[in-house]
Structure 1
Amino acid sequence: MYAVTVTLTLKENQHEAFMYLMLENAHASLANEPGCQRFDVCADPNQPKTVFLYELYDDQTAFQAHLASKHFQAFDTFTADMVVDKQVHCFSQVFQ
């Protein structure tokens, strides 16, 4: 298993538009990527500029396929101007 966490900081007043696109991307990932096992989109109502993602893939190759997918590429392009900061962390499973 390959876990990816992403913490995004959004620009002011971008939460609603960003979340619409983010949820589309999450649904497309789960529906169209066989190697994507989980895609959680989390937000704290008290911190509307912060979005946290928790994604699980079969392996690093499946995550790379996600990054290369048309739906992710479109999402990344459409949301680039909405995001101030993006922190991505990747973890490989070491024990099962």
Structure 2
Amino acid sequence: MLEALIVEFKIKPEFVEDFALAIQKNAASALEHEAGCRYFDICRDPADASLFFLYELYENEDAIEAHRNSKHYQEFAALSTDWVAGKSVRKMRRIGASTLG
């Protein structure tokens, strides 16, 4: 079964567009360079542009740790630290599947 990370970011208004670009770059790098990263979806609240929701799927806990230790994630985290007004992370285990149309 896959491990899921559900991450919600509240971004300071003056950094919203910078964060949007940086998180997209981070996700693309994870999908391209991390064999254990199977899915990385980024959503943004249409009613609140400063609220982002990530849904990430990894093969196992080791793949999550590889992501956290990756150069691109470390660069993203350092770059965006001061942009974040709030963050929550939930770890769950995927028990079912669906397909995207």
Band the TM-score falls in, shorter-chain normalisation: over 0.9
From the two aligned structures, give the one with the greater strand fraction: 1
**Partner residue of 2:89?**
88
Q: How far apart, in 2, do the equivalents of 1:45 and 1:83 lie?
A: 18
**Partner residue of 2:77?**
76
Q: How far apart, in 2, do the equivalents of 1:57 and 1:23 lie?
A: 17
- TM-score, normalisation: structure 2: 0.90
Does 2:58 align with 1:57? yes
Q: Give the deviation of 1:93 after TM superposition.
A: 3.7
Q: Give the deviation of 1:95 after TM superposition.
A: 6.9
The structure-2 alpha-carbon separation of the partners of 1:94 and 1:44, relative to structure 1 and needing over 3 Å to count, comes to closer
- TM-score, normalisation: structure 1: 0.94
Which consecutive unaligned segments of at least 5 residues does structure 2 have? none
Moved over 3 A (4+): 93-96
RMSD: 1.3
Letter in 1 for 2:26: N
Which consecutive unaligned segments of at least 5 residues does structure 1 have? none
Q: How far apart, in 2, do the equivalents of 1:94 and 1:9 lie?
A: 28
What are the residue-to-residue correspondences of 1:1-96 with 2, within 5 Å? Answer: 1-93=2-94
SS in 1 for 2:35: coil
Letter in 2 for 1:87: S
Q: How far apart, in 2, do the equivalents of 1:57 and 1:93 lie?
A: 10
SS in 1 for 2:50: strand
| Higher mean C-alpha displacement, 39-48 vs 20-29 | 39-48
Cα displacement string for residues 37-90 of structure 1 (whole angstroms, at most 9, x for unaligned residues):
000010012111100000000011100100000000000000001001110000
The count of corresponding residues between Structure 1 and Structure 2 is: 96
